[in-house]
Structure 1
């Protein structure tokens, strides 16, 4: 039906007849000559309709925005002074010979060039929203990125294998989406949170190098970078060490950014231990574009009169400082706003010191309500350790280590981007390695896996599984980029006895192991090779590439932050017949019926 896409036209086609199909993006009547900007997935083309072709011109007069059109005409240069450098086809226009309305359209709910739309309006009318040029670019970028992943992995000998969407519920961490079975009354499938167990079993089966671009599901509270269903590039390989795996994955990420975005990422990516990242940046996915760092001062304030500092310092907590160069110019109002901000992360307040004269580590040179409660040795040590100069400001966090890290880590990023404490680089990748194997759950009074329970302990750390789980480090690695975790993985446990020990350390007994993971433990007994892998978040990567604010801008039909689809009004009620077939009775309805009968 068409000979060319609109966005593919250029001056090399001057004088040629072309046929285009697309939507009327804009129609303008200029003194008897009608201009139509025709739009398709590749871009726009300007069509000129002269009145000397009466039948064609009559049709052009009837055209309105979003009409679906077929246009045949001749490519010609635009008149001097009318070239549009912002369009791929901006040097030419189409002199229209024939125009056919393939379908009329009602007036759309909003103009496609309106950039001030509420997200609810956009998601309710997602089909129209997806016509907007920016959304078309985002979807094309997503496609190019996914294909770049495929080309690289195919070239490295990885094979694409599908794993099941209906699987077994093994509740660890986030909640599963459950699917009732009609043919097995009272029993449920779960939608996969990850293909983790299946890809490990594929390694046992001898497929050696596997990948899959697949949907995963988590029934959890949502944020801007989370969705109940998301897409990950899932990868597993056998007979490679931790360093070999990360080297291949690093090469892949560089390849993908070059192919999809024409961006050269640095080589090699820097590496940092989890402990160092948390100590310096308060985050295991630090944004290295921000030049601010945290400084440990716990030991310096253990004996001060200020209980807000000495309390955490002597009870296993953390006191950290964040030096803000030139920050003494911050107003009281700005400091109050930052204090409110850290409260989101559990901080009870935000102590600070303005350094008016760094040569006077006392109330003469320092301005703050807390200075009088800190002895001079502590103040001098803080100035020396942070490197503070006259005119700087120092913020402090003092609480449980997690609260301090979360609060000051987030404040560091906020200050960096708001006040310009940036190194000027566009992309800052970082491998974070040597994660703790376990973290202690204060509520449940037990150890839980930091990544997942199939991660291998580092060599020489197996002995800590029972003696001191908090010391046990894992062969786990995350790839961070500009403050986002874009991928994470580990070397897996390939010996059944080691896997059983890890389950025991997690207080998962032999019977529970068999019920939840028996199929994996049995598979590991049949000669499982050493193996490991990663999973990359495709949605997050494309969001960063597109410079979008939310992953909802790079997913064709996303859910809202309340896990709803406004386009289809899902989730929704189902009729009683469907519930009966599934042997399900809704508790809310039963309780409501009981209340009515009581009344």
Structure 2
């Protein structure tokens, strides 16, 4: 018999009764029932109950061992009595009667429990992540992640893609975040950067003639903590294709993403045909470019109903500024003063003056807004939105770019508070036609709004025409960029790339980067485009977010093996940490910690 195990802790069944077997694992739980000692033995695969009597020579040793100690137990498989069979456990019909015991490793007193999974502080969970990973839910999440990534690889290969590995030590790139820099010992004073994404390499692969690329790629961004992204590093399903238009990317990748979701949805519905929603429409209807389409609420502009009305607050805003709009957020079934007051209080906590509202009862609108605009305008709003008795509507006012994000939050709040969000589905959609540029208020200049390597709609001619017309035309220019969203999360982003050197120079020039700077920063791409570059495009899907959605986790740290905390610190490995003097000397570096408050 093998020194450690003949079976795993999930294998034994009624058909094994009478066999002598050997199991190894962790003591998950101990129970003393009337003189009998029961041990739940756990390994990666599952649990097996072991039992021994006080007369057993190993009873005293097992009784004293702490939970999470590692042991090897040899014994006979016996059938459980009918009244103690555990139908929720694959091994629940049998138990192992202990004959031999070998202690492989004794556990100290635990800093956190493994059995039962009570809430525990993040600091302790991350510092003792090796214990945290033993807990059932997190362990299962990680194994789901493994299976989901395997499914991605299989489906990409089946779709005709080839997996390539791109470099980790590379050059700095403007992907929208700070780089992690790596000092070079051989080239004193110079630095590599960890890739924010394999963007340039995957484009160079297309120029090199490889046609269809994919990679489960690690990406590194030195960003401030964000709730929807792990600090430091994350993984994405990175994709690039040659000789494609947007529609080719959609029709190729949509089945891959849909099939991955369907395979792991556990009965939840998955969108069959992903809608394509223009960015401007998404912002107007949902207040966000990553809408949760499980929520049926769609906002509408109702500006005309308030212009010149008796509701002076809105009417005055409209009169003073032609850019002002009034948006309505329908609230089906929300037609009570109590609910409207709760929403108004919530808005004030969000830093807003409040939320105007109308609620409908007995064929009429009620509330201060309805009173001030009159029956006719109130009825027109009700009819436009398709509302009736028992419903309500909330209003936000101002320049849409200033209030859209808050309006989107209010829509989400209404949908969740009224239980309108369909929890049993994954609602996916493409968001298309993103703006090519945005206004950087801090720098007072035009900048890229998304991926700087994207092709503008209309190409070089569109860039030249917009530049000639001025900033308003540039800000209205659309790019061949698209996102894939699911249940309120952006899970993928991509574009058709700008593969024409002249267009590339012009696109960057509009943001203030001249030809010499572009050639220096993106020399590899620029040179490659001189020697025959195919039209190409692709996308990158966030592996961590997809796994989080599929397993129903609330936090990205619940689907990652060894994450950092929200201060970007690895509590397990104690990183970051100071480098010693010899390391710094080898790198020709000296550390000077700058107090940013003083330098400001």
TM above 0.5, yes or no, is yes
Q: CA deviation at 1:31?
A: 2.3
- In the other structure, the counterpart of 1:230 is 234
Match of 2:59 among 57, 60, 71: 57
| Post-superposition CA distance 1:319-362 (Å, at most 9, x none) | 2111112323252662344213543xxx4432223334544xxx
Q: CA deviation at 1:552?
A: 0.6
- In the other structure, the counterpart of 2:244 is 240
- In the other structure, the counterpart of 2:451 is 452
For 1:528 and 1:403, how far apart are their aligned partners in 2?
41
With over 3 angstroms needed to count, the CA separation of the structure-2 counterparts of 1:589 and 1:296, relative to structure 1, is closer
Match of 1:558 among 560, 563, 568: 563
With over 3 angstroms needed to count, the CA separation of the structure-2 counterparts of 1:462 and 1:564, relative to structure 1, is farther
1:353–1:367 Cα contact (<8 Å) kept: yes
Query: Which range is displaced more, 253-262 or 18-27?
Result: 253-262
Does residue 548 in structure 1 map to residue 564 in structure 2?
A: no
Root mean square deviation of aligned Cα:
2.5
Query: Which range is displaced more, 476-485 or 90-99?
Result: 90-99
- In the other structure, the counterpart of 2:111 is 109
Q: CA deviation at 1:373?
A: 5.0
With over 3 angstroms needed to count, the CA separation of the structure-2 counterparts of 1:272 and 1:341, relative to structure 1, is farther
With over 3 angstroms needed to count, the CA separation of the structure-2 counterparts of 1:379 and 1:589, relative to structure 1, is closer
- In the other structure, the counterpart of 1:167 is 170
- In the other structure, the counterpart of 1:387 is 386
For 1:406 and 1:589, how far apart are their aligned partners in 2?
35
Matches within 5 A, 1:461-500: 462-464=461-463, 465-466=466-467, 467=469, 468-500=473-505
Q: CA deviation at 1:298?
A: 2.7
Match of 2:125 among 112, 122, 125: 122
For 1:585 and 1:432, how far apart are their aligned partners in 2?
47
Query: Which range is displaced more, 454-463 or 108-117?
Result: 454-463
Matches within 5 A, 1:69-468: 69-112=71-114, 113-227=116-230, 228-262=232-266, 265-304=270-309, 306-308=312-314, 310-311=316-317, 314-331=321-338, 334-343=342-351, 347-359=352-364, 365-368=365-368, 370-371=369-370, 373-374=372-373, 378-423=377-422, 425-459=424-458, 462-464=461-463, 465-466=466-467, 467=469, 468=473
- In the other structure, the counterpart of 2:7 is 4
With over 3 angstroms needed to count, the CA separation of the structure-2 counterparts of 1:14 and 1:341, relative to structure 1, is farther
2:181–2:194 Cα contact (<8 Å) kept: yes
For 1:583 and 1:125, how far apart are their aligned partners in 2?
35
1:342–1:408 Cα contact (<8 Å) kept: no
For 2:100 and 2:591, how far apart are their aligned partners in 1?
60
Aligned residues: 582
With over 3 angstroms needed to count, the CA separation of the structure-2 counterparts of 1:510 and 1:375, relative to structure 1, is farther
3-state SS in 1 of match to 2:50 = strand
Query: Which range is displaced more, 509-518 or 579-588?
Result: 579-588
For 1:44 and 1:261, how far apart are their aligned partners in 2?
25
With over 3 angstroms needed to count, the CA separation of the structure-2 counterparts of 1:583 and 1:29, relative to structure 1, is same
Q: CA deviation at 1:560?
A: 1.2
Match of 1:44 among 47, 51, 59: 47
- In the other structure, the counterpart of 2:511 is 506
Structure 1 stretches of 4+ with a deviation exceeding 6 A read 589-592
For 2:134 and 2:551, how far apart are their aligned partners in 1?
17
Unaligned runs of 5+ in 2: none
1:70–1:101 Cα contact (<8 Å) kept: yes
| Post-superposition CA distance 1:65-116 (Å, at most 9, x none) | 0110112233333211222233232232222232211111101112212422
With over 3 angstroms needed to count, the CA separation of the structure-2 counterparts of 1:391 and 1:48, relative to structure 1, is same
TM (norm. structure 1) is 0.91
For 1:62 and 1:501, how far apart are their aligned partners in 2?
75
For 2:572 and 2:556, how far apart are their aligned partners in 1?
17
